[in-house]
Amino acid sequence: MNKSFYQFVLSFRGGGKEDERAVFAEEMFNDLSFPKDEREYDLLSRYVEEMANEQMKPIIFDELYKLYEERVLNQ
């Protein structure tokens, strides 16, 4: 079974403050209401745009989701 988007993005944690993917991953990890089991772009995108803090930038979400599709969903 494929990893959720949340599980995939956790692999980017631990980078420096200049690494926007790492910042997104850390903020996502600290957001207790983030949809941890979700895999669908539309629902995740809506959450990031409407509910997440300013450190979880939608443009970084799109970049991470593209990687998620390439590395997880399309395998």
pLDDT at 53: 84
pLDDT tens by residue, 3-29 = 999 999 999 999 999 999 999 999 999
Question: Which two tokens mark 20?
Answer: 């926007």
Write out the CATH class of domain 5-73.
Answer: mainly alpha
Q: What are the structure tokens assigned to 55, written together?
A: 């450190």
pLDDT attached to residue 1: 62
**pTM > 0.85:** yes
**For 46-62, how does the pLDDT look when each residue is reduced to its tens digit (9 = 90+)?**
999 998 788 899 999 99
Instruction: Give the domain ranges of the chain.
Output: 5-73
Phi, psi of 55 (to 5 degrees): -75, -15
